[in-house]
Amino acid sequence: MTNEQLQLIRTDFPILTEKIYNKDLIYFDNGATTQKPRCVVEKIEYGYYHLNANIHRGVHYLSQKATEAHEEARTTVADFLQAGKREEIIFTRGTTEAINLVASSFGEAFCTAGDEVIVSVMEHHSNIVPWQMMCERKGAILRVIPMNERGELDIDALKALLNERTKIISVTHVSNVLGSINPVAEIIRIAHQQNIPVLVDGAQAVPHIPVNVVDLDADFYVFSGHKIYGPTGIGVLYGKEKWLNAIPPYQGGGEMIATVTFEKTTYNELPFKFEAGTPDYIGSTGLAEALRYVQKIGLESIAVHEHDLLIYCTEKLLEIDSVRIIGTAANKSSVISFLVGNIHPYDIGMLLDKLGIAVRTGHHCAQPLIDSLGIPGTVRASFAFYNTKEEIDVFIAALKKVVAMLS
C-alpha cells in the first residue's frame, strides 16, 4: 500500500478527521470496533430511504427488493468466508449471539452430565460464559487449553485434554488481548481425528487475514460485522450444514417456522431455522458492503500494511524504558498490549485520551487471561489498515509525555 493509496483510503472514513479536545483523533481501538467507510453508511441510508419493507413474506415490490438485498448479502458473506453453501450462513446480532446460539443448541443436542467442552485460556468472555452456562445446565465440564509465556497455545496440552467425553472445542482464531494468531487449522485437524467439532471465534481474525472455512474445515466460524467496518448489531454464524441440521433452533418466532398449530410446530429449513423474528435486513446489506470494501482493498495488502504497523510500533515501544509487551507470539496480528513499569493501564489510557489518542485499557473482557498473567490489565493499541506510521510517531511521543507525568 503506497502512501498515496493510504491517504485516499483515509478519505473514505470521515471520522478520521475528527478533533478530540482540539487534537487530531488517533484511533487505535480497532480491536473494539472499527470505523465505517462512507459506502457502508450510504448503503444503510439507501436501504432505509429506498428499500425498506419487511422481508420474506411480502408479496409487494419493496418486500421483494428488500428480500433480494438481504439474501444477496448472505451470498456475499458466504463468498467472503469461501463457504460451500449460502444456507450455511446464519445472520446473528454478532459474535456473542452466534456463540450463544451454538453453545445452547449444540449443548441441547449433544451434551449430558460429565461431558466436556474445551476452550482456551485466552478467550474473550463471550467464548467462555455461554459455554459455562450450558455446562451448568447440562452438568458438563469446561476444560481450558493453556498457553506459553509468549501467548501461544500449548497444542500438546490440548491433545492431552481430548478424551471420549470431549464434545466440542471452541477457540479464538486471534486473541483480542495478545494478538496471537492461533493455529486453528492444526487444532481442527487434531480434533477431527477424534470426530470432535470445532467452533472458531473469528471476530479478531476476519478483518485482518483471509479466511477460508472449507480449507480450515471449521465446523462453526463466527464473526461480528462492526469489527470489519460494517454496522453494529449484525454478525455471522457459519456452520456446516450437517451440524446446523443436527442441532435444534435457538429461538422461536416468525421466519423460523414451516407450519404452526397449537399442537405442533415444524421448523423452516436452513438458514431460516436459526433466524427467528425480523432479521436486521438493513444491517446485512451494510455488512455485505463492508466486506466488498475490504475485498476491494484486498486482505493480502491489508495484512502487509498492518504487519508493518505492528513491527514499527513494537520497535518504537521497546525503545521506551520499562515497557513490557504482553503477547509476543511468533504469529501475531496488529494488536499490541503493553505495560509501562508499575503504572496502571487506566492512568496511561486516561492521559493518552487527553492527547486525542484512543486506546483501550483494562482486562479487555478476558479476565481469566489477565488473571493468569498476574497483571491488573493492559494498555492495548490495535491497528486497522487506515492507520499510519505517522500516527504511531504521535502516539509514541504522547506515551513518553504521559509516562513522564506518571513517573
Partner 1 sequence: MTINELQDEIIEEFSAFDDWMDKYALLIDLGNSLQPLEEKQKNTQNIIEGCQSRVWLNAELNNGVVTYQGESDAVLVKGIVSLLIQVLSGHTPDEILNTELYFIDRIGLKEHLSPTRSNGLVAMVKQMKMFALAFKSVNS
Catalytic residue IDs: 365
What DSSP element (H or E) covers 67? helix 61-81
For position 363 contacting partner 1 by CB under 8 A, the verdict is yes
- Residue found by looking up cell 468472555 in the block: 125
Nearest residue (CB) to partner 1, 125 versus 292: 125
- How many residues touch partner 1 under the rule CB under 8 A: the total is 17
| 3-state secondary structure at position 111 | coil
For position 397 contacting partner 1 by CB under 8 A, the verdict is no
Candidates 350, 371, 390, 397: give the one binding partner 1 (CB under 8 A): 350
Question: Residue 242 contacts by C-beta under 8 Å, 6 or more apart in sequence?
Answer: none
For position 249 contacting partner 1 by CB under 8 A, the verdict is no
Q: How far is the CB of 163 from partner 1 (least distance, A)?
A: 36
For position 322 contacting partner 1 by CB under 8 A, the verdict is no
Given the rule CB under 8 A, which of 1-9, 35-43, 294-302, 343-351 is the region that contacts partner 1?
343-351
Q: How far is the CB of 348 from partner 1 (least distance, A)?
A: 9
| 3-state secondary structure at position 135 | helix
Q: How far is the CB of 226 from partner 1 (least distance, A)?
A: 18
For position 376 contacting partner 1 by CB under 8 A, the verdict is yes
Amino acid identity, residue 212?
A: N
CB 43 within 8 A of CB 236: no
Question: What is the DSSP code string of 248-305?
Answer: --SS-SSSSEEEE-SS-EEE--TTGGG--SS--HHHHHHHHHHHHHHHHH-HHHHHHH
191-210: contacts with partner 1 (CB under 8 A): none
Question: Residue 264 contacts by C-beta under 8 Å, 6 or more apart in sequence?
Answer: none
151-170: contacts with partner 1 (CB under 8 A): none
For the record, the C-alpha cell of 141 comes out as 465440564
Closest CA to 80 of 270, 229, 294: 294
Q: How far is the CB of 394 from partner 1 (least distance, A)?
A: 16
For 33, counting Cβ atoms within 10 Å of its Cβ (0-12 exposed, 13-18 middle, 19+ buried), the class is middle
6-65: contacts with partner 1 (CB under 8 A): 21
For position 344 contacting partner 1 by CB under 8 A, the verdict is yes
Q: How far is the CB of 31 from partner 1 (least distance, A)?
A: 16
Nearest residue (CB) to partner 1, 205 versus 365: 365
How many residues can be counted in the chain? 407
For the record, the C-alpha cell of 4 comes out as 498515496
For the record, the C-alpha cell of 308 comes out as 508493518
Q: How far is the CB of 347 from partner 1 (least distance, A)?
A: 5
Q: How far is the CB of 96 from partner 1 (least distance, A)?
A: 17
For position 346 contacting partner 1 by CB under 8 A, the verdict is yes
Nearest residue (CB) to partner 1, 104 versus 382: 382
Nearest residue (CB) to partner 1, 192 versus 401: 401
For 176, counting Cβ atoms within 10 Å of its Cβ (0-12 exposed, 13-18 middle, 19+ buried), the class is buried
Interface map 260-279 toward partner 1 (x if CB under 8 A): --------------------
Phi-psi region of 151 (alpha: psi -120 to 50; beta: other; left: phi over 0): left
368/279 Cα distance (integer angstroms): 34
Nearest residue (CB) to partner 1, 235 versus 377: 377
Candidates 183, 210, 362, 368: give the one binding partner 1 (CB under 8 A): 362
42/56 Cα distance (integer angstroms): 24
For position 351 contacting partner 1 by CB under 8 A, the verdict is yes
152/139 Cα distance (integer angstroms): 30
Given the rule CB under 8 A, which of 43-51, 118-126, 137-145, 358-366 is the region that contacts partner 1?
358-366
Nearest residue (CB) to partner 1, 28 versus 223: 28
For the record, the C-alpha cell of 247 comes out as 442441532
For position 406 contacting partner 1 by CB under 8 A, the verdict is yes
List of residues contacting partner 1 (CB under 8 A) = 21, 343-347, 349-351, 354, 361-363, 376-377, 405-406
